[in-house]
């Protein structure tokens, strides 16, 4: 998979060179490229923003640098005739879920457009949508100062699903928001007793059937308490 990230803060993406995403790059599972939007400006101040049309507070990202940045990326596809999917983090985007991470992990090429200020001139998304699939996504009902943190989260969620990334693919099967749609059960390790808190006896019983049943019950309880919305879509929930 190839992932291009366009941002005015390339260093924000440096953490992707660490730990598992870094190893994924070393192993050739992902070709991650960051692009400084300011490299596609032509004035002395390397201006990427301007005042909002129609007035209002803040500044809007100018379309010209974005057009030139995307042109440059599209001119060097990973393979001939491969088109990217453009991902635009924005507070007004569609909620990003684990199912979306799985879907994007199957794509050959993603381009992440990280906005700042009040956002990117809408014409950039409209122009891009004439040439490639475009998705505006949100991490949740909160607002960051730009798209970089959301891009980091989306990229990590996607890379870790790539075949060959996780040493033990089985661990993906049991994850929160996994195939069963439930939150993860609580996890424990040694020592059996710590500061007056003990590992639940069932987990020390060696009875794998009881352990599996306990974990399922814990996951269902947690989901009902914290995320009843996830149960609404569960088969047999009557909804």
Ligand X SMILES: OB(O)c1ccc2cc[nH]c2c1
Tell me the binding residues.
115, 139-144
What are the tokens at 235?
Answer: 């088969």
Residues within window 90-129 making contact with ligand X, judged by CB under 6 A:
90-91, 115-116, 119
147 forms part of the interface with ligand X (CB under 6 A): yes
Comparing CB distances to ligand X, the nearer of 156 and 180 is 156
150 forms part of the interface with ligand X (CB under 6 A): yes
Comparing CB distances to ligand X, the nearer of 144 and 199 is 144
Residue 215 and residue 196: Cα distance in Å, rounded?
A: 22
DSSP E strand boundaries for 100-203: 109-113, 134-138, 193-194, 197-198
Comparing CB distances to ligand X, the nearer of 35 and 215 is 35
How many of the chain's residues bind ligand X (CB under 6 A)? 14
Comparing CB distances to ligand X, the nearer of 64 and 220 is 64
From 77-85, 141-149, 183-191, 205-213, span contacting ligand X (CB under 6 A): 141-149
Q: Give the chain's largest Cα–Cα span.
A: 70
Contact (Cβ atoms closer than 8 angstroms) between residue 49 and residue 188: no
Contact (Cβ atoms closer than 8 angstroms) between residue 70 and residue 59: no
Q: How far is the CB of 185 from ligand X (least distance, A)?
A: 30
- Of 119, 154, 188, the closest CA to residue 21 belongs to 154
Q: How far is the CB of 122 from ligand X (least distance, A)?
A: 13
- Of 34, 18, 37, the closest CA to residue 26 belongs to 18
Residue 26 and residue 29: Cα distance in Å, rounded?
A: 8
| Torsion sign across C-alpha atoms 118, 122, 124, 125 | positive
Q: How far is the CB of 43 from ligand X (least distance, A)?
A: 22
* Preceding peptide of 191 cis, ω within 30°: yes
Q: Which of 21, 84, 146, 181 binds ligand X (CB under 6 A)?
A: 146
Comparing CB distances to ligand X, the nearer of 10 and 89 is 89
Q: Which of 8, 32, 111, 139 binds ligand X (CB under 6 A)?
A: 139
Name the residues that contact ligand X, by CB under 6 A: 89-91, 115-116, 119, 138-139, 143-147, 150
């Amino acid at each position: 998979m190839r992932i291009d990230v366009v941002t005015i803060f390339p260093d924000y993406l440096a953490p992707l060179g660490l730990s598992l995403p870094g190893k994924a790059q070393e192993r050739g599972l992902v070709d991650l490229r960051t692009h400084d939007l300011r490299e596609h400006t032509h004035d002395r101040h390397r201006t990427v923003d301007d005042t909002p049309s129609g007035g209002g507070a803040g500044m809007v990202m100018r379309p010209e640098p974005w057009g030139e940045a995307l042109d440059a990326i599209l001119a060097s596809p990973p393979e001939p005739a491969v088109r990217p999917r453009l991902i635009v983090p924005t507070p007004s985007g569609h909620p990003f879920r684990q199912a979306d991470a799985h879907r994007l992990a199957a794509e050959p090429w993603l381009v992440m457009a990280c906005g700042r200020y009040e956002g990117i001139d809408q014409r950039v998304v409209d122009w891009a949508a004439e040439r490639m699939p475009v998705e505006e996504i949100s991490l949740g009902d909160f607002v960051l100062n730009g798209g970089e943190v959301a891009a980091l989260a989306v990229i990590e969620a996607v890379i870790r699903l790539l075949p060959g990334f996780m040493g033990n693919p089985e661990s993906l099967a049991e994850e929160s928001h996994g195939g069963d749609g439930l939150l993860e059960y609580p996890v424990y390790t040694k020592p059996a007793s710590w500061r007056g808190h003990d590992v639940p006896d069932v987990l020390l019983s060696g009875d794998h059937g009881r352990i599996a049943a306990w974990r399922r019950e814990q996951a269902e309880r947690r989901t009902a308490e914290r995320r009843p919305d996830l149960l609404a879509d569960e088969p047999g929930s009557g909804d």
